[in-house]
Amino acid sequence: MTEKIIDGKEISSEIREKIKKFSDVLKKESGRTPGLAVVLVGENPASKVYVKNKIEKTKEVGFNSIEHKLDEDVSEEELLSVVDKLNNDDEIQGILVQLPLPKHINSDLVLDTIKPIKDVDGFHAENVGKLWSGLDSLVPCTPLGCSILLKKLSSDLSGKNAVIIGRSNIVGKPMAALLLGMNATVTIAHSRTKNIEELVRSADILVAAVGIPEMVKGNWVKKEAIIIDVGINRIEREGKRILVGDVDFEECMKNSSKITPVPGGVGPMTIACLLLNTLFTSYKQFGKQEIKLSDIFE
């Protein structure tokens, strides 16, 4: 690994160690253990892998992990009643409904049924509104992870141009809110944007969250740019199944000052931030003095 590479694996492992320490203190002081419930609907292979990883890491930091597996054809009503039960369960501080949900289920309705205080994915409209208003809220895990990686390089992005490719509610939009909060000048590109290459060339900070393997080419990237690659794409190369991001890593690394690899960049940060959110909201729900990101990184 060169010094250009932002090692999300290592940074996330440090964060999880800190979470474990805070979790031990919280358990001792409150006599309670934070509980994270994960709801998985159907048999999507990628979702199953994500959920397995999340459960493993949840246990590692000393939280209780509760898994609810539901059949692909579960009714919306049944799923909502599971969420409702978890909302009212004092043993559960965080609820995560793994996306995507089957087409017959209204995902927005399900996400908005989760109590905002237990919404560790940060997708509830109340948390989204608070994030955009600059108020304290639970922040979506992937963009939160990206912002932590960026803060390690510089906490104030005044005068910097940030370009995000992708406008999803999960990554692109909340990422824009976080970058604005760090004083960057933010542009969001999407499938209807013209001249993406030109926009990318103006970026001091590039966040790629598109889902197109190696879409961003080396000659699109400004010299000394910081590149955060959110993409996780499974492709076949030289007879092997491999994971690549949304940027052409080898080419883009040449121009960039810092870059996240895939795998080992943003992915592990997402899980660490899920646990962070569970820790934050557990302090709140156990009636303890609230803690913030700055407490973790002191």
**Does the protein bind ligand NDP through residue 230 (CB under 6 A)?**
yes
Q: Which residue is nearest to ligand NDP (CB)?
A: 168
Handedness of CA 119, 162, 271, 166 (dihedral sign): positive
**Does the protein bind ligand NDP through residue 172 (CB under 6 A)?**
yes
Identify the active-site residue in 98, 118, 130, 222.
98
**Residue numbers 188-217 binding ligand NDP by CB under 6 A:** 189-193, 196, 209-212
- Residue number with CB closer to ligand NDP (122 or 285): 122
Question: Which span (18-26, 51-59, 185-193, 217-225) binds ligand NDP, by CB under 6 A?
Answer: 185-193
Distance CA 95, CA 82 (A): 11
Taking CA atoms, 116 is separated from 121, 281, 286, in Å, by: 10, 10, 16
289 catalytic residue (yes or no) = no
**Residue numbers 104-143 binding ligand NDP by CB under 6 A:** 142
**Does the protein bind ligand NDP through residue 52 (CB under 6 A)?**
no
Give the number of C-alpha atoms closer than 13 A to the C-alpha of residue 269, restricted to the C-beta side: 26
Identify the active-site residue in 57, 119, 121, 160.
121
Question: Which span (36-44, 75-83, 113-121, 262-270) binds ligand NDP, by CB under 6 A?
Answer: 262-270
Helices (H), 190-265: 196-201, 249-255
Contact present, 86 and 118 (Cβ < 8 Å) = yes
Please report how close the Cβ of residue 259 comes to ligand NDP at its closest, in angstroms: 14
**Does the protein bind ligand NDP through residue 170 (CB under 6 A)?**
yes
Contact present, 93 and 26 (Cβ < 8 Å) = no
**Does the protein bind ligand NDP through residue 154 (CB under 6 A)?**
no
| Residues 6+ away with beta carbon under 8 Å from 267 | 8, 232
**DSSP string of 264-297, one letter each residue:** SSHHHHHHHHHHHHHHHHHHHHTTPPP--HHHHT
Distance CA 130, CA 173 (A): 13
Question: Which span (23-31, 128-136, 198-206, 229-237) binds ligand NDP, by CB under 6 A?
Answer: 229-237
Whose CA is closest to 20, among 272, 251, 293? 272
Please report how close the Cβ of residue 33 comes to ligand NDP at its closest, in angstroms: 26
Question: Which span (31-39, 82-90, 105-113, 265-273) binds ligand NDP, by CB under 6 A?
Answer: 265-273
Give ∠ CA 213-215-216 in degrees, rounded to 5: 130
248 catalytic residue (yes or no) = no
- Chain residues binding ligand NDP by CB under 6 A are 142, 165-168, 170-172, 189-193, 196, 209-212, 230-233, 266-267, 270
